[in-house]
Each structure stands twice: as structure tokens, then as C-alpha cells.
Amino acid sequence: MNNLVEKTLIIIKPDAVKRGLVGTIIDSFEKVGLKLMTAKMFKPSKDVIKNHYPGTPEWIKEMGEKTLSSFKQSGANVKEKMGTDDPTKLGAFVYERLIKYWSEGPIVVMVWQGPDAIQIARKLRGHTIPLLAQTGTL
């Protein structure tokens, strides 16, 4: 850790908002010493969501390759579960699901600040794929 004061963006997804976890999540970040600088709850438009992800052919293929890797790590059969093992098709499917998922309800966008805020937030958040996340992470 470099002890530099940093700012990091944290977004609470629609399912966590719906499940009433906003306060618990905020508390988790406060307990590790980060300071909430700003927060806003809103329902993002599809354009806002699309602007959050590159959506380029290269990015879509990379998402498909990450999906393949995640399935391999978890021991699941990607072709059996997703109907294909083509990285581009998988990436396009993931991209469409992301847009649909983020459109389901309001999100909470927050900026947190503190020494090593980025590294601390990533550790607290855990892996972005739930099957690979450690117990106790968000």
C-alpha cells in the first residue's frame, strides 16, 4: 500500500438496492476507514449504461474470453450452459445481459476517498463473478 489519498467510484447495482443492502454496503466502506464524498441514486438510461462499457468488437470478444475462463475455473461446461463456446457470441450475450441487468432498477453511485481507497475497495468488493468471490466480500 502506498498510503496515497485516492478517490474511487463505487456503484451499488439494482439487485442490491432492491434487496435493501445500500446501508450495509455503505457501512462496510466506512468500517474500513473510507470517507463517502458524494452519492446519488438514479435509474440509468440504456444510453448511460452503454457509455459505461466500450461495446467494441474487441471488448465484446474479450468479455467472451473472460466468460470462457470463468466457466473453466468453476468447472462448469460453458457450451452446455450458454449454448456456445464462441468468445464473440458469449461476449455479445454478456453485453446484452449487462444492459438489461443495469436497466432493472435504480443504482447508487458513490465516490469514496481515503488512503489506498482503490485497493481497499477492490479487496472489499471481491471477485466480480459471484462463483469466484471469497466469502464476506460484497
pLDDT digits (tens, 9 = 90+) for 105-136: 999 999 999 999 999 999 888 766 665 556 65
Has residue 10 been placed in a domain? Answer: yes
Q: Could you tell me if 5 and 30 lie in one domain?
A: yes
d(CA 127, CA 125): 7
The verdict on residue 112 lying in a domain is yes
Q: The domain containing residue 74 runs over which residues? A: 53-104
Q: What is the Cα–Cα distance from 104 to 14, expressed in whole angstroms?
A: 6
* In a domain? residue 100: yes
59 plus 99 within the same structural domain: yes
Give the CA angle between residues 71, 77, 82 to the nearest 5°.
85
Query: What is the rounded end-to-end Cα distance, in angstroms, of the chain?
Result: 21
Query: Does the predicted model carry a pTM greater than 0.75?
Result: yes
Partners of residue 40 on adjacent β-strands: 109
Between 15 and 134, the higher pLDDT residue: 15
- CATH code of 19's domain: 3.30.70.141
Q: What does the pLDDT read at residue 14?
A: 96
Q: Is the dihedral of CA 96, 17, 53, 30 positive or negative?
A: negative
Own/partner long-range contacts of 15-20 (Cβ < 8 Å, ≥24 apart) = 15/101, 15/104, 15/105, 17/41, 17/105, 17/106, 17/107, 17/108, 18/104, 18/105
Query: Residue 48: inside a domain, yes or no?
Result: no
Question: What pLDDT is attached to residue 1?
Answer: 58
- Say yes or no: 94 and 131 in one domain: no
Residue at 80 is within a domain? yes
Question: How confident is the model at residue 136, as a pLDDT?
Answer: 59
User: What are the backbone angles phi and psi of residue 116, rounded to the nearest 5°?
Assistant: 55, 35
